[in-house]
């Protein structure tokens, strides 16, 4: 992924792609933490994923 440096605005599609990549990384990381309690920080990712699934983003 290119770093934009303000040369063009981030489109809705760019944002969804980035959130999908973040969610994929979160899922990989959570795989290592499956024996630990889920952190509060993961809730924001869950909310983004839920809104993405609902098409609100």
Helix (H, G, I), strand (E, B) or coil at 2: coil
- Give me the residue spans of the domains in the chain: 1-30+41-57
Residue 1 pLDDT more than 70? no
DSSP letter at 1? -
For 19-56, what is each residue's pLDDT tens digit? 999 988 888 877 766 555 555 556 667 777 777 777 76
| Pair 52, 19: CB distance under 8 Å | yes
Give residue for tokens 């909310």. Answer: 47
Predicted pLDDT at 5: 63
The phi, psi pair for 35, rounded to 5°, reads -95, 0
CA dist 40 to 29, 32, 44, 45, 47, Å?
14, 16, 8, 10, 12
**pTM of the entire predicted model:** 0.39
């Amino acid at each position: 992924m290119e770093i934009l440096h303000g040369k063009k605005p981030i489109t809705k599609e760019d944002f969804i792609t980035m959130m999908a990549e973040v969610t994929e990384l979160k899922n990989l990381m959570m795989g290592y933490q499956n024996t630990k309690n889920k952190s509060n920080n993961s809730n924001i990712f869950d909310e983004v994923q839920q809104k993405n699934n609902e098409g609100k983003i």
